[in-house]
Each structure stands twice: as structure tokens, then as C-alpha cells.
Amino acid sequence: MPSYTAPVRDMQFLLHDVLKVTETDIPGYDDLEADFTAPVLEEAGKLASDVLAPLNPVGDHEGCTLENGVVRTPKGFSEAFDKLREGGWTALDCDPEYGGQGMPYLLGTAVGEIFVSANMAFNMYQGLTHGAYSAIHAHGTDAQKQTYLPKMVTCEWTGTMNLTEPHCGTDLGLMRSKAEPQDDGSYRITGQKIFISAGEHDMADNIIHLVLARITGAPAGIKGISLFIVPKFMVNEDGSLGDRNAVTCGNLEEKMGIHGNATCVMNYDGATGYLLGTADKGMRAMFTMMNEARLGVGLQGYAQAEAAYQNAVAYAKDRLQGRDVTGAKNPDGPADPIIVHPDIRRSLMDQKSFVEGARALTFWGAHLIDRAHRAGDAEADGLISLLTPVIKGFQTDKGFDMTVQAQQVFGGHGYIEEWGMSQFARDARIAMIYEGANGVQALDLVGRKLALDGGKHVMAFFDLVKTFIAENKDEERLAKDFLDPLKAASKDLQAAATYFMQTAAKNPNHALAGSTDFLHLFGHVCLGLMWARMGKAALEGLDAGASETDFLNAKLATGRYYMARQLPATGMHLARIQSGADTVMALEADAF
């Protein structure tokens, strides 16, 4: 059975040596002293290792069941959910006004990674509740907030997001679900929603569904869609639960992975709903929390890779097979551990350098969100808005690849379910799809975010890279190994952006045909920047005489690997992009 240990030291390095959280002027960040964050992460790690990780294969194997409208989660999930609640973990970065602990989103992100690595399917019940909490927090009336938020902060009630219908996923303008206004100000919601994660289950007293639907007479398309709160059980004035609402789970999907999470077909048969935010502005309300939700999915990508990587390392150290060509490393044993083999080492370094780079990018992203929300920094808001599709798309594509590489380290044992490596790959696969499939992320990046506010945010990103390189150019230990490759990669990214600008007027397909390559190119530059930053922080630590020289030297070595072995991908992506749309669009649809 796979095991998991929270990478607390790596997280502390990011928080305190790279992001230097307590030195920033973001409200609430002064709480984040190293001797405060360490025990928080350690405690989360304990829950993850002892309770959540052992339930991960159980959830995969048992899955959820639907009988007479009741969804049962796998054995042990409910007890584990109680522990999550009792530990106050669900309230960590929620508003103290509604019972939250008011911690920065960054800390919530670090803790979230730990829980997601240990058991992604399980953590979704909480994660979706947090998303619905954020939407109500941002758009609800005072009464709505008082009614729902305290119970959602504790996860006594969980939440869901209802967007997709059988005939519409990406193109939500085609939505058919209806909302008929009632005399009392409520709405009658009718329609069918699919792929609703945690839509129905046995771990909470109530489920608060956020549902997109079209109010009678609303404009066609995306501009006529509103967002509604639809509780599973009606909530009485005094907060007690009333009648069952007319919303039911019609079916559970059989999926490739995340079996422990109930993916429901939800039927709304004249259910009572309450408008959340402004009528016809439901998409906007939904999208205000999209950055967070997509960052959270980008996190799932590398968090699954982290869990898979940990187990691949353990196997590579344990499995004896063949000999080191440069001389036996385990001469008294029948063979050497496979970690001696350069191609196994390459695979582990791919995984390690990706995971640590992606964690840095995600933490930086969470830090930007805090800066935007807590310090009202519009530039941080613009930057995270630009980076969100990169974090979501790049990290889930690569994260999945890395789970596959980790599985490969096990040979045939990776393919059988007994070792748990298949589950990491099967679970990670969904992150490439939900919260907007990665092709849609690439479209968002190239078709919208690049040009947003006159291209100001991408220019800010380039400036950031340029400034970092300029400020550190005299540091010889960074120059050749970190700064030169970063500069070259950033140049490729700029050349790609320039190509898009130059061709856009002539034919927008040139940019769109290169969108996925651009997203990956951007991702590599981001991770290159993160590694340069981490390299700098490691050198500072070494120069200051930090005791953990092995840890800091390993950071430098892992960074050098990423720069030498991963960044060269930018040239390939640029070449593909610059080949334009002609070969992509040459065939008629009939020729496929």
C-alpha cells in the first residue's frame, strides 16, 4: 500500500526562505512565523499520513454507491470527515465572522496540498464546499451569509457547483435549466445537471447546491444565466432543517478514477432556489471564484505527482535489479537498487524538479491571491489572472505525466492495482479535464488573458523575469546554470507572444492553433523563474551558514536539472507555434 509523508521542510523553505512571508505587508501574514506554520503543517501531515492516505485505496476500490436516492461513501470516509471538522481544518482560511480562522489563503493552500496528496477524492468534499462558501461569501446577502456560511465553514453542510448539462460543458450559453420566479421571491429550478462532484453523500446534514439556470424570459446565451442557492433540505428561520427540497441524485457516474468522490447526475424537479448575486450575472459570480478553483485544480496536478513520486522513490531504493554500470553499489546483495540506473534517476529527477517547481508556482499564486484580496493589489490580481490558466493547464498536464512516470518506475507492479500507482494516474487524469479542460485553459490564456488590459499583465510578467535576471546577474553561481537558461526560455515566450500579435489580425487561428504549446511554453518559463528564485534562496541560506546544507544543495542540484533538462522544451514549443495554423487546419473535417 502506498504511503505519504507531508513535505513540510520543502513547504517551510518556500514560505520562509523564498516568499519570506513575514516580511511582506499583506494583512495576516505577520501570523505566519516559521514556528507557527511548522506545527500546523506537521499536524495536517499527521492526519494525512495516518487517516487520509490509508483510506485512499479503500475509496478507490469501494467507490460510492447509490441506493434509493441515498449515496454511501466508502467505509471510513465519514469518520475521517469528522476528524477533519474536529481539527478545524475546514475553517482554516475562512472568514472569522462566520467561524473561520482567518488564516491567509496561502496557508490554506499548503494544507490543501497535504490533504490532496493523501486522498484527492476525499478532499474534494471539503474543496467544493470551500468553493461554494467563497461564492456565497462574495455574492450573498447578509441573510444568506448568516444562514449558510457558519455551517459550511465547519463542513457540517457541504457545497457543490452545478454547471454542466448533458449537452453543454464549455459552452454554457447553451444551458437549458430553468428558474421560474415565485411570489415569495424564490425560484422554481428545473433541469438536469451532470458531473456534479459530491452532489449527494452521507457525510453532512445538508448539501448546499449552487446551480446555474436561466430565469424565465432571460436573454439567450451566456448573458441570461443566473446563479442560485438550492439547499438539499430547506432551512427554517431558526436555522433548523425543514423539508427535503426537490433535488435528487439520479445516477452515479462510473469513472476512470476519484472513485471515492460521488460524481452525480442531479435532477432538479421544481426545486426551491434563491438567487445568489444579480439576475443574469450568474457567470460573473461563478467566475469570481474561478481563479481559486483553478489554482486548486493545478494544485491537484502536482499533489498527485508528489504522492506518486514519494512511492516511486521508495520503490527505486528498495527494488534490486541489475548493477550500476560504473560499479556495484550493493556488492553484497544479489543486485543493486534500481535508483542507481541513470534512466530511473532521470525519471525521478523529472518528477522531483517538476513537483517542487510547481509547488513554488502554486504557493506564489496563492500569495498573489492574498495580495489581491487582503491588500487590494490590482497588479497582483492581474498577474494571478494571467497565470491561472498556466497553473491549471500546465501543472495538470505535467502532473498526470509525472504520475505515469512514477508508475513506470514500478514496471509491471505499477500496472496492477495492488501497489496503488495506477490510482495516482487515474485520479490525476481528471484534473486535466474539470474546471475547464486544458484546451479551454489554453484558449483563455491566448484568446483573453494575454491581451487583457492592453497586454499589461504579460508585460508585467516579462518585467519580473527581466528584473530578477538583472538583479542577480553578478551571482556567478546562478548566472550560467539558472539565469542564462531562464533568459533564453523567456525570449522564446516573448517571440511566441510577438508571433501571435503579428498574425492575429490576419488570422486568429494562428494563435489558437498554438495555444496549448504556448501554455506549456509559459509553464516552463514560470517553473524556470521559480527555480531561479529557489536557487537564489538556497544560496542565501548556504551563505548565511544554515545547518541544512544537504537540503539546500539538493535544491540547487534539482534546479540545475530543471534548467538543463526541462527548459529546452521551450524551443520546441516555439517552433510548433511559429509553424502557424496552416498545417493544423489544412484538412477538411471530412478528411478525418
**Is the Cβ–Cβ distance between 92 and 36 less than 8 Å?**
no
Nearer to a second copy, 51 or 478 (CB): 478
**Residue 318 touching a second copy (CB under 8 A):** no
Q: In Å, how far are 204, 205, 262, 462 from 112, measured between CA atoms? A: 20, 23, 20, 30
**Residue 207 touching a second copy (CB under 8 A):** no
Q: In Å, how far are 3, 145, 258, 309, 555 from 425, measured between CA atoms? A: 15, 38, 10, 11, 26
Q: Which of residues 240-259 bind a second copy (CB under 8 A)?
A: 253-257
71: enclosing H helix or E strand: strand 70-72
Collect all residues with Cβ–Cβ distance below 8 Å to 434 and sequence separation of at least 6: 195, 197, 297
Nearer to a second copy, 239 or 411 (CB): 411
Adjacent-strand bridge partners of 241 = 235
Q: Using the rule CB under 8 A, which residue among 64, 289, 295, 404 binds a second copy?
A: 404
> What are the DSSP calls for 23-61, one per residue?
GS--TTGGG--HHHHHHHHHHHHHHIIIIIHHHHHHHHH
Catalytic one among 86, 306, 435, 475?
435
Q: Which of residues 495-524 bind a second copy (CB under 8 A)?
A: 507-509, 512-513, 515-516
Distance in angstroms (rounded) separating the CA atoms of residues 307 and 301 = 10
Say how far residue 145 (Cα) sits from the centre of its chain: 26
Collapsed DSSP state (helix, strand, coil) of residue 550: helix
Binding mask 87-126 for a second copy (x = CB under 8 A): ----------------------------------------
| Dihedral class, residue 207 (left if φ above 0, else alpha if ψ from -120 to 50, else beta) | beta
Query: In the bound complex, what is the minimum distance in angstroms from residue 407's beta carbon to a second copy?
Result: 8
Nearer to a second copy, 107 or 338 (CB): 338
Query: In the bound complex, what is the minimum distance in angstroms from residue 79's beta carbon to a second copy?
Result: 26
| Dihedral class, residue 267 (left if φ above 0, else alpha if ψ from -120 to 50, else beta) | beta
**Residue 284 touching a second copy (CB under 8 A):** no
Q: Using the rule CB under 8 A, which residue among 38, 66, 241, 313 binds a second copy?
A: 313
Query: In the bound complex, what is the minimum distance in angstroms from residue 446's beta carbon to a second copy?
Result: 9
Nearer to a second copy, 409 or 537 (CB): 409
Q: Using the rule CB under 8 A, which residue among 37, 56, 147, 164 binds a second copy?
A: 164
Collect all residues with Cβ–Cβ distance below 8 Å to 276 and sequence separation of at least 6: 135, 136, 139, 140, 144, 210, 227, 228, 229, 282, 285
**Residue 171 touching a second copy (CB under 8 A):** yes
Nearer to a second copy, 313 or 479 (CB): 313
Side-chain half-sphere of 115: how many Cα atoms within 13 Å? 23
DSSP code, position 154:
T
Nearer to a second copy, 360 or 369 (CB): 360
Which span (31-39, 84-92, 147-155, 164-172) binds a second copy, by CB under 8 A? 164-172
**Residue 193 touching a second copy (CB under 8 A):** no
Task: For 137, list phi and psi in degrees, rounded to 5.
Answer: -60, -40
**Is the Cβ–Cβ distance between 209 and 187 less than 8 Å?**
no
Q: Which of residues 407-466 bind a second copy (CB under 8 A)?
A: 407-408, 411-412, 414-418, 422, 425-426, 429-430, 432-434, 437-439, 442-443
Query: In the bound complex, what is the minimum distance in angstroms from residue 506's beta carbon to a second copy?
Result: 11
Nearer to a second copy, 94 or 442 (CB): 442
Q: Which of residues 355-384 bind a second copy (CB under 8 A)?
A: none
**Residue 543 touching a second copy (CB under 8 A):** no
Q: Write down how long the chain is.
A: 592
Query: In the bound complex, what is the minimum distance in angstroms from residue 550's beta carbon to a second copy?
Result: 7
Which span (163-171, 293-301, 365-373, 381-389) binds a second copy, by CB under 8 A? 163-171
Distance in angstroms (rounded) separating the CA atoms of residues 471 and 279 = 50
Distance in angstroms (rounded) separating the CA atoms of residues 418 and 14 = 34
**Residue 575 touching a second copy (CB under 8 A):** yes
**Residue 195 touching a second copy (CB under 8 A):** yes
Query: In the bound complex, what is the minimum distance in angstroms from residue 165's beta carbon to a second copy?
Result: 11
**Residue 322 touching a second copy (CB under 8 A):** yes
**Residue 308 touching a second copy (CB under 8 A):** no
Query: In the bound complex, what is the minimum distance in angstroms from residue 205's beta carbon to a second copy?
Result: 29
Written as nine digits, the cell of 288 is 469570481
Q: Is 435 a catalytic residue?
A: yes
Query: In the bound complex, what is the minimum distance in angstroms from residue 510's beta carbon to a second copy?
Result: 9
Q: Using the rule CB under 8 A, which residue among 138, 218, 349, 542 binds a second copy?
A: 349
How would you class 39 by CB atoms within 10 Å of its CB: exposed for 0-12, middle for 13-18, buried for 19 or more?
A: exposed
Binding mask 23-52 for a second copy (x = CB under 8 A): ------------------------------
Residues with catalytic function = 435
